[in-house]
Structure 1
Amino acid sequence: MPTSDVPLQKLGFLTIGVFDGDDPRPGMEALLTQLQLGEELGFDSAWLRHRHLQYGVSSPVAIMAAASQRTSRIELGTAVTPLAWENPLRLAEDLATVDLLSGGRINPGISVSQPMRWDDVKDALYPDTAEVEDFTYGRVQRFLAMVGGEPVTTATTQGIEVFSDRIQPHSPGLRDRVWYGAGSLRSARWAAEQRLNLLTSSVVTGAEGGDFAAIQGGQIAAYREAFPEGRVSQGLVVIPTDTATPAQREKYEAYAAARLPRTREPQGPGKLLFAPDVVGTSEQIAEQLYAHTGFQQVTEVAFALPFSFDHEDYVQILTDMATRLGPALGWSPAQA
């Protein structure tokens, strides 16, 4: 069995929460069931991808609110919420509300850039202000100030109406649990400067060359040099097959093979480089992870679930992650 001097401390998973556009509720209920299963299996955290105009979670805050009432311990996060789609003040209000309802378990993961498919969505998203919207780090700093409780206006009383100078409710500690989804060296360093936790994933941007692990490892090292006490989580697509049926193994291997070409060299003008999906037994996966330059520098992970699988597949993958792969990495399940 592969070994390491430092055991994995926190095991999480990341999901897109797929559903049928003609009948969305069963998929959403299945997602909530998977989040509950994650807590029962001892996972430390569960993270929701954020997808707009697709058949996946478009409102992770609402899903986290529901999950917070069906769970009691597991941390709930977003990986990530694109702030370009959000009003920072309204998002700060919603996250603070859910954080308080959950007992302080919310981990907002955020990023900022021009929305995907901008020319297609800008008239629907910002019909009057598209040309002046700020999609820079400044939008993140506005959000952080609001989550942190800094004044956004003046406190006044008008008749019987009493107004606060900061967003309400305020959730102390939420600002310290904000993560930034960084894909480049520049954004990793910026996250450290802002004292944000760092979310890494299965894609890096601005890549030069095809060595994903080395690029990601360099980003993590730069972040840690600037902010040693910050938390770093890795989010590769990992699919253990220990208890999978032959049909499931065939499906998983075909899924990974179809996505393999994009891992060989940077893609498109953004020079996106994707990590290969890691498929195999827990022992095989652990061996590959211990050789990964990025994984070698983290003590917590949020392994990403593949897209478009069935509920039964996710149950098998999550169960193998918690009962086989996690222990192979030195992790112990959290206690209720």
Structure 2
Amino acid sequence: MPTPDRPPRSLGFLTIGLFDERRPAEGHEATLRLIELGEQLGFDSAWLRHRHLQYGISSPLTVLAAATQRTRRIALGTAVTPLGWENPLRYAEDLATVDVLSGGRLNPGVSVGIPAHYEDVKDALYPDTADREDFGYGRVERLLGLLRGDTASAFRGVEGIESYSERVQPHVPGLAGRVWYGGGSLRSARWAGQQGLRLLTSNVVKAEQDGEKFASIQLGQIQAFRAAHPDGERARVSQGLVVIPTDSATPAQRAKYRAYAASRHARTLVPHGPARLLFAPDLVGNAEQLAELLYAHAAFREVDEVAVALPFTFEPEDHTQILTDLATRLGPLLGWKPAVN
């Protein structure tokens, strides 16, 4: 196994928090317990992903607000919020509120683009402005400006017994500097760098040319991001891959994990759809095997922050086993040290 030249400084995990439509409270509670477990195991961050109009967490910030009251150290993030579903002014207020509740631990991750199934949902989402909404980078720029304290209202002062501010309240200096952009293309990576954002990569990229491998595409995006970023090589990048350690797994779990990865392998071979999306292979094995695979991954060698994506169809006991092995087996093997609670 290769010796790491630069061990990860941050190890986190990502989940979408599935729930049964008949018993949604149980699924949300399981997610909160998972975040609590992550803090106990010494993980540096926990991330939630949106699932609008599905049976997964539709409001990660609300769940993270609850998590702020059940944890004290672990960073809490969204990976990512599709801003096409959000009003930047209202979302800035929500972000600032949750950050205050967390004591400055919030890491907002965002992306842009037309909402999924837009033709089906636009009349409910934007009944009067569906054909005029801007789903481009300008939506992120509006959010960043509002978080920084740009004027949101022409009125400031006292009216009766109520006081009004011209900017988003609570105002949290530094929150805009903790915004991450979820990019999967060379263009978005370069734009994020130009804006001075942090970059969230995932297990999905856009293939620009035929025959390219996932790792080389992602590496090129990371390099383009840092070349455009004011901080250069110090610009922060987090990599999100599906990594499933099997060290303490039962034989049934190991079989389940390998079957899961095998069922998704075909999608890693060629780009899919008009967007030419290419997926990374899921990594399954014991800690030593996974370390070898990760250090052979060109993009992994360029990052020092990792957020492992938990397979969303797995059971809570599977997630517990995976997180425990990540924190106690694979992480230390990569040179990472759990945080002290």
TM-score bracket, shorter-length normalisation:
over 0.9
For residues 125-274 of structure 1, what are the structure 2 equivalents within 5 Å?
125-154=125-154, 155-208=156-209, 209-227=211-229, 228=232, 229-274=234-279
Is 1:292 matched up with 2:294?
no
Q: How does 1:102-113 map to 2 (within 5 A)?
A: 102-113=102-113
| Amino acid in the other structure paired with 1:160 | I
1:317 to 322, 326, 330: 322
Q: What's the TM-score once normalised by structure 1's chain length?
A: 0.98
Task: Provide Cα deviations, 1:127-151, integer angstroms capped at 9, x if missing partner.
Answer: 1110011101111100110111111
Whether the 8 Å contact between 1:204 and 1:274 is mirrored in structure 2 is: yes
CA deviations over 1:15-53 (Å, ceiling 9, x no partner):
111111111111111110100000000000000011101
Map of 1:87-106 to 2, 5 A cutoff? Answer: 87-106=87-106
Report the Cα distance in structure 2 between the residues aligned to 1:78 and 1:87, rounded to whole angstroms.
Answer: 16
Q: Residue 263 of structure 1 aligns to which amino acid in structure 2?
A: T
Distance 1:177 1:204 in 2: 23
The match for 1:17 is 17
Inter-partner Cα distance in structure 2 for 1:241 and 1:215: 28
Runs of 4+ in 1 over 2 A off after TM superposition: 156-161, 206-210
Measure, in 1, the Cα distance between the counterparts of 2:28 and 2:159. 43
Contact 2:207/2:217 (CA < 8 Å) preserved in 1? no
The alpha-carbon deviation at position 230 of structure 1 amounts to 2.0
Which TM-score applies when normalising by structure 2? 0.97
Pick from 302, 308, 313 the counterpart of residue 308 of structure 1.
313
Secondary structure in 2 matching 1:11: strand
Q: Deviations over 1:148-201 (max 9, x none)?
A: 111112223323322101001111211111000000000001001111000000
Distance 1:169 1:95 in 2: 9
Specify the code of the residue in structure 1 equivalent to 2:302.
Q
Residue deviations 1:69-102 (CA, integer Å, cap 9, x gap)? 0000000000000000001111110110010110
Say whether the 8 Å CA contact 2:114–2:135 is kept in structure 1.
Answer: yes
**Deviations, residues 102-138 of structure 1 (Å, cap 9, x unaligned):** 0000000000000011111111111111001110111
Q: Distance in 1 between matches of 2:149 and 2:286?
A: 46
Q: Tell me how far 1:206 sits from its aligned partner.
A: 4.1
Q: Which runs of 5+ in 1 are unaligned?
A: none
CA distance in 1, matches of 2:216, 2:77: 27
Q: Aligned partner of 1:190: which letter?
A: W
Q: SS of the residue aligned with 2:116?
A: coil
Q: Identity over the aligned pairs, expressed in percent?
A: 66
Residue aligning to 1:114? 114
CA distance in 2, matches of 1:162, 1:4: 55
Aligned partner of 2:338 among 322, 327, 333: 333
Gaps of 5+ in 2: none
C-alpha distance in 2 between matches for 1:96 and 1:284: 41
Give the length in aligned residue pairs. Answer: 336
